[in-house]
Chains A and B, each alone.
Chain A
Amino acid sequence: GAVVSQHPSWVICKSGTSVKIECRSLDFQATTMFWYRQFPKQSLMLMATSNEGSKATYEQGVEKDKFLINHASLTLSTLTVTSAHPEDSSFYICSAGRAGGTGELFFGEGSRLTVL
């Protein structure tokens, strides 16, 4: 399978600050990456589709000005949670699929955000 790496794994921040999470595809190029969020005992909820070189596509109910996504290269997408609040505390997971693959997505290790 393909390798997707995410950093940081854990982050604790104060309310009102911004946090950046990086997602890298290590052994393949990803023109598209996906950002998911998972609250405790809930499923993965798609937040946005990150497109290399263009604007991200956000799912309904996800604030694009709060969750800034940048996909500047074929191997890196970043998610910045701006002005974080305690309700943003969650497990954020990125994923990507190989171009020409069979459609499965490979997931990063996830980033657990805790906003105090």
Chain B
Amino acid sequence: QKEVEQNSGPLSVPEGAIASLNCTYSDRVSQSFFWYRQYSGKSPELIMSIYSNGDKEDGRFTAQLNKASQYVSLLIRDSQPSDSATYLCAVRMKEAGTALIFGKGTTLSVSS
């Protein structure tokens, strides 16, 4: 069974705060994890990928992976109104071959 779970939100944070987005997945042997951002009416754009346990930082974004807990998260520091979007967690699962399985997404709203 291929499942990626996310809290749909909305998650509301003030400008400058840290936004924390969480994701769990069902396939214990999954090896590749991705965060995409999707603005309304647009296709997803890749923000980060992570493959190993621990943290991976890229600018204001930090992805965290814990394979034992089957959990991946995305932190957005110094949140900006332009970060307001839906954030999709995607996992490459063995059952799906090389395709990505997506969660339903978490809607983030950053207020100025």
Q: Which residue of A lies closest to B105 (CB)?
A: A43
Q: Which residue of A lies closest to B101 (CB)?
A: A46
Size bracket, chain B contacts = 20 to 34
* Smallest CB separation, B39 vs chain A (Å): 11
Q: A107-B44, A108-B43 are in contact. Are A43 and B99 (CB under 8 A)?
A: no
Q: Which residue of A lies closest to B34 (CB)?
A: A104
Question: What 0/1 pattern do residues 41 to 61 of B give for CB contact below 8 A with A?
Answer: 111111001010000000000
Which of the residues B43, B49, B88, B103 comes within 8 Å of A104, measured between beta carbons? Answer: B49
* Smallest CB separation, B21 vs chain A (Å): 14
Asked whether any CB of chain B lies closer than 8 Å to the CB of A103, the reply is: yes
Question: What 0/1 pattern do residues 71 to 105 of B give for CB contact below 8 A with A?
Answer: 00000000000000000101010001111111111
* Smallest CB separation, B67 vs chain A (Å): 16
* Smallest CB separation, A63 vs chain B (Å): 18
Q: Which residue of A lies closest to B100 (CB)?
A: A105
Asked whether any CB of chain A lies closer than 8 Å to the CB of B20, the reply is: no
Which of the residues B34, B46, B99 comes within 8 Å of A1, measured between beta carbons? Answer: B46
| B residues in contact with A36, CB < 8 Å | 102
Q: A1-B46, A103-B32, A103-B49 are in contact. Are A97 and B98 (CB under 8 A)?
A: yes
Once the chains bind, are A43 and B102 in contact (CB under 8 Å)? Answer: yes
Q: Which residue of A lies closest to B44 (CB)?
A: A107
Once the chains bind, are A44 and B34 in contact (CB under 8 Å)? Answer: no
| Besides the known contacts A42-B104, A103-B92, 20 further A-B residue pairs in the complex with CB atoms under 8 A apart | A1-B46, A6-B43, A34-B99, A34-B100, A36-B102, A43-B102, A43-B105, A44-B44, A46-B96, A95-B100, A102-B49, A103-B32, A103-B98, A104-B34, A104-B46, A105-B46, A106-B46, A107-B43, A107-B44, A108-B43
Give the A-binding residues of B (Cβ under 8 A): 32, 34, 41-46, 49, 51, 88, 90, 92, 96-105
6 of the cross-chain contacts (CB-CB < 8 Å) are A43-B105, A46-B96, A97-B98, A102-B49, A103-B32, A105-B34
Report the 6 A-B pairs with minimum CB-CB distance, sorted nearest first.
Answer: A43-B104, A110-B43, A107-B43, A44-B102, A103-B32, A43-B102
